[in-house]
Amino acid sequence: MSRRIAVSIIIIITVITGFATYLASGLKFDYDFESFFPKEDTDLDYFLKYRATFKNDNDYMLIAIGNKEGIFSDNFLEKADRFTADLEKLPHVVSVISPTNIKQPVFSAFGFMEIPLLHVGEPEKYKNDSIRIAKSKEYINTLFAPDFKSISIVVNNVDIINKKESDALIFALEKLIQQYDFETIHYAGKIRGQKAYLTIMNKEVKLFLLASVLLVIIFLIISFRSFFGTVIPIITVFIAIIWTLAFMYLVGKKLDLMTMLLPTILFVVGMSDAVHILNRFIEELRKNKSKKEAIRITFKEVGLATLLTSITTAVGFFTLIVVSVVPVKEFGIYSGIGVIFAFLIAITLLPAILTLSRPPAIIKHRKKEMFWNRFLSKTLLITLRHPKRIVVIYTLILATSVIGIFQLKVDFHLLEDLHESHPLQQDFRFFENTYSGVRPFEMAILLKDTHQVFDYEVIKELDKVEKYLYDDYGVNFLLSPVAVVKMINKAQNTGNSNAYKIPDTKKEYHKITKWLKNPSIKNYLNNLISPDKKTIRFTGKMHDVGSYQSRILNDDFDTFFNQNIHPQYFNYNMTGTALLVDKNNSIMASNMIIGLSIAFLLIASLMGILFKSFKMALISLIPNAIPLIIIAGIMGFTGTSINMSTSIIFTIAFGIAVDDTIHFLSKYKLQRGIGLTNLYAIKRTFLSTGKAIVLTSIILCSGFLSLMLSDFKSTYLIGVYITLILIVAVITDLFLLPILLLKRK
């Protein structure tokens, strides 16, 4: 490369980078929970129609306020009533359901009346109130804690609340909470979760990049022991990151839970190209080659391998396109584009810088060189002397790993991403342990033919469904037309708790159906029955049992329904956000297998074309399939579930891990091409590429280890398991790959 071309390249890249920096600075954060739902899915389509008919199932906040001496002491209820009134005044609040504002209906010969559930401000009535509430199972674990030391308030906000409205509401709510000195207060819900996640994302996108930069700088200094070898790789990778972020801005993409990892991952992955190129350049200078000759040899011998590794890494990311979850798909696309940018910058900017700059002072660190020569020679000697033993060890490890793989399961819990010490997680656990739980439950009942909701036979069948949901499915709180009928029956019997049931006879039932025309009751039923009277809503809450257990519960319910419910009356359809999240994780698991298969096929084809040998294509895959099997086994033994986050680990790690194998095999091909014997070619390849392979693996691992600083469990696990895969991959390349090449005929 001439100096004129080198100067032109640097000027062009500098101008582009300056403009890209301006664009990248405009990137914003986004947290759209619903974007993680699978697209073009029948369950999602049904849910959207269902939500258009009824209210959304997660547009609310749960607030629990408590008093250690009990809720009926120390003017607690009076304060709670004032708090409830203030909650109703908050922006974007539609309604507030609180024990202090609930009225119980009573039907008598004199007509319809409503009496307070709690006689706030009348302490002399608190004892009777507490006795009556304790006998009413519909209130315990929903509005009242079983020990009567706290009450729960439901704050319903506007449906499908946007980011601006959400910020205004959570700000006003937290400001209001600070004005009251309740002994205990817990609150959880979609808008608080959104704030917590965005706060963490904003912090961690900077933390990860800073931590990975520091770790990588340390290892670059240790590896090259020069300013030249440290700064140049960092410059090239930062430019690639800036270009990628600018590209995202141009196409209107925001940083979300997935793409927040992109700067860190690109910094780590993009470093590999620069390290391999610089390492080879410096090695050629140490052989007393001129700078021009060193550049020529470096890009001739390492250039192809760098191109191939960039392609395979990009393929690993691009295979995420098969995922039906948009944020994951987009993460794969933009990461793959970032890898391509990193390669283009490495093969243009690096030679330009090397051409224009003075060659670095080559100091022969004899101790350092002796260490590497000794380490690599001993490693190769062990490999060549004990091939059978190494193969047996790998066979035993793989057999054990397969046992672990069979223990893997697809599972996900709401908010499992947050550490147990996080305030939101602690409040979440409080509602799980004290009240009905926080997992939404939604089920649609679809009436058949001419049957009506309040036909006695239909209500009796629906009552069987409700009973099963309470007793066997695990729902702890449920609203449905059945509950309304039971409430009316109780109200007609002067609030007797024993009357909270469906009347035993048709005659008794028809006595209470007249009250269904009451305006208050009709208004209440509008949220439970569709306008065409053909769809019934069962909505409630349950404990967060996880997606794995939920699938079992749904299968059991289906069996119950088919065996115990008369088919002529109605059918059912499970729906809701929780169901979509569960399905999402199952889809991600199957997408992982498809994506990994595509990556294997593409990379095997690439290696087959390069080496013109099926055996070499197979050899290139084996050292990189083994780490995936071993780590999958470890995940199974440690109880790590396959979900949306952990499922992407394998395709990403495979695309990265295969890089070292490609560098090794590319060098091996060159050595064989100049006429060396198989054994001698392996030896020369091992000693010349071994150092670069180990160094790049250390740098990659150090970068991914920075993800372990995350407050998100999923990000933490991505860092841990990709690091482990890379460690196992480099060990396999050093110990097993030479054995596989020796067996090649």
Looking at residue 629, which CATH number applies to its domain?
A: 1.20.1640.10
Place of tokens 């790590």: 640
In 3D space, the residue among 300, 406, 262, 326 whose CA is nearest the CA of residue 591 turns out to be 326
Distance CA 478, CA 172 (A): 30
* Cβ atoms of 284 and 623 closer than 8 Å: no
Q: What's the pLDDT score for residue 591? A: 81
pTM for the predicted model, two decimal places:
0.83
Q: What's the pLDDT score for residue 108? A: 66
Q: What is the CATH number of the domain that holds 82?
A: 3.30.70
Q: What's the pLDDT score for residue 361? A: 63
The answer, yes or no, to whether residue 481 has pLDDT greater than 80, is yes
Do 526 and 586 reside in the same domain of the chain?
no
* Cβ atoms of 478 and 559 closer than 8 Å: no
Q: Mind listing the pLDDT tens digit for each residue in 613-627?
A: 888 888 888 998 999
Asked if the structure places residue 444 within a domain, the reply is yes
Q: What is the dihedral angle through the alpha carbons of 444, 447, 448, 454, rounded to the nearest 10 degrees?
A: 160
Q: What's the pLDDT score for residue 369? A: 63
Distance CA 278, CA 226 (A): 11
Q: Tell me the two tokens of residue 17.
A: 């980078």
* Cβ atoms of 179 and 169 closer than 8 Å: no
How buried is residue 629: exposed, middle or buried, by Cβ count under 10 Å (0-12/13-18/19+)? middle
Do 743 and 618 reside in the same domain of the chain?
yes
Which of these three, 140, 168, 194, is where a domain ends?
A: 194
Do 178 and 81 reside in the same domain of the chain?
yes
* Cβ atoms of 509 and 459 closer than 8 Å: yes
pLDDT-derived band at 175, boundaries 50, 70, 90: very high
Q: What's the pLDDT score for residue 496? A: 84
Q: What's the pLDDT score for residue 467? A: 96
Q: Mind listing the pLDDT tens digit for each residue in 646-664?
A: 888 888 888 788 888 888 8
Q: What's the pLDDT score for residue 430? A: 94
Which of these three, 194, 227, 255, is where a domain ends?
A: 194
Place of tokens 């991914």: 704
Q: What's the pLDDT score for residue 633? A: 95
Do 554 and 585 reside in the same domain of the chain?
no
Q: What is the dihedral angle through the alpha carbons of 329, 330, 336, 340, rounded to the nearest 10 degrees?
A: 150
If you average pLDDT over residues 307-320, what whole number do you get?
86
Do 590 and 735 reside in the same domain of the chain?
yes
Count of beta carbons in the 10 Å neighbourhood of residue 562: 9
* Cβ atoms of 28 and 111 closer than 8 Å: no
Q: What's the pLDDT score for residue 744? A: 60
Q: Mind listing the pLDDT tens digit for each residue in 340-394?
A: 999 999 888 888 888 887 776 665 555 556 777 888 889 999 999 999 999 999 9
Higher pLDDT, 312 or 93: 93
Asked if the structure places residue 93 within a domain, the reply is yes
Q: Tell me the two tokens of residue 414.
A: 């709401």
Show the 3-state SS of 392-441. Answer: HHHHHHHHHHHHHHCCCCECCCCCCCECCCCHHHHHHHHHHHHCCCCEEE
In 3D space, the residue among 583, 524, 538, 530 whose CA is nearest the CA of residue 440 turns out to be 538
Do 553 and 612 reside in the same domain of the chain?
no
Asked if the structure places residue 227 within a domain, the reply is no
Asked if the structure places residue 542 within a domain, the reply is yes
For residue 534, the surrounding DSSP H or E stretch is: none
If you average pLDDT over residues 698-708, what whole number do you get?
83
DSSP string for residues in 694-710: HHHHHHHHHHHHGGGG-
* Cβ atoms of 623 and 734 closer than 8 Å: no
Listed in sequence order, the residues at least 6 apart from 565 whose beta carbon sits closer than 8 Å to its beta carbon are 461, 464, 465
Q: Mind listing the pLDDT tens digit for each residue in 399-409?
A: 999 999 999 99
Q: What's the pLDDT score for residue 529? A: 94
Q: What's the pLDDT score for residue 268? A: 78
Count of beta carbons in the 10 Å neighbourhood of residue 128: 10
Asked if the structure places residue 88 within a domain, the reply is yes
Q: What's at 657, amino acid-wise?
A: A
Count of beta carbons in the 10 Å neighbourhood of residue 88: 13
Q: What's at 226, amino acid-wise?
A: S
Which neighbouring-strand residues pair with 63? 153, 187
Q: Mind listing the pLDDT tens digit for each residue in 10-32?
A: 999 999 999 999 999 888 877 66
Q: What's the pLDDT score for residue 363? A: 54
Q: What's the pLDDT score for residue 61? A: 92
Q: What's the pLDDT score for residue 340? A: 93
In 3D space, the residue among 671, 692, 691, 693 whose CA is nearest the CA of residue 682 turns out to be 671
Do 714 and 611 reside in the same domain of the chain?
yes
Q: What's the pLDDT score for residue 616? A: 83
pLDDT-derived band at 458, boundaries 50, 70, 90: very high
Distance CA 44, CA 38 (A): 7
Which neighbouring-strand residues pair with 572? 445
Count of beta carbons in the 10 Å neighbourhood of residue 403: 11
Give percent of the chain above pLDDT 70.
97
Extended beta strands in 422-522, E state: 439-447, 475-479
* Cβ atoms of 480 and 539 closer than 8 Å: yes
Strand 60-66 and strand 150-157: the pairing is antiparallel
Q: What's the pLDDT score for residue 38? A: 74
Secondary structure class of 353 (helix, strand, coil): helix
How far is residue 436 from each of residues 2, 141, 431, 498, measured CA to CA in Å? 73, 5, 7, 22
* Cβ atoms of 346 and 236 closer than 8 Å: yes
If you average pLDDT over residues 116-127, what whole number do you get?
90
Range in 149-158, 440-449, 454-463, 583-592 the model is least confident about = 583-592
Asked if the structure places residue 116 within a domain, the reply is yes
If you average pLDDT over residues 83-103, what whole number do you get?
93
Q: Mind listing the pLDDT tens digit for each residue in 29-41?
A: 776 667 777 777 8
Distance CA 321, CA 335 (A): 11
Strand 103-108 and strand 439-447: the pairing is unpaired
* Cβ atoms of 489 and 558 closer than 8 Å: no
Domain range for 552: 431-575
Do 622 and 675 reside in the same domain of the chain?
yes
* Cβ atoms of 79 and 182 closer than 8 Å: yes
* Cβ atoms of 418 and 425 closer than 8 Å: yes
Most confident of 98-112, 557-571, 649-663: 557-571
Do 398 and 440 reside in the same domain of the chain?
no
Do 484 and 526 reside in the same domain of the chain?
yes
Q: Mind listing the pLDDT tens digit for each residue in 124-164?
A: 899 999 998 998 888 999 999 999 999 999 999 988 777 88
Average pLDDT value for the chain: 87
Higher pLDDT, 688 or 240: 240
* Per-residue exposure over 33-51, b if at least 16 CB sit within 10 Å of its own CB, e if not: eebbbbeeeebbebbeebb
Distance CA 477, CA 480 (A): 10
Asked if the structure places residue 199 within a domain, the reply is no
Do 645 and 520 reside in the same domain of the chain?
no
Distance CA 551, CA 121 (A): 47
Most confident of 50-54, 222-226, 454-458: 454-458
Q: Mind listing the pLDDT tens digit for each residue in 500-554?
A: 999 989 999 988 888 888 888 888 898 899 999 999 999 999 999 999 999 999 9
Do 488 and 530 reside in the same domain of the chain?
yes
Asked if the structure places residue 334 within a domain, the reply is no
What angle is formed at CA 30 by the lines to CA 26 and CA 36, rounded to 5 degrees? 140
Which of these three, 143, 169, 194, is where a domain ends?
A: 194
In 3D space, the residue among 183, 349, 172, 200 whose CA is nearest the CA of residue 260 turns out to be 200
What is the domain count for the chain?
3
Higher pLDDT, 627 or 229: 627
Distance CA 637, CA 624 (A): 21
In 3D space, the residue among 589, 703, 711 whose CA is nearest the CA of residue 646 turns out to be 589
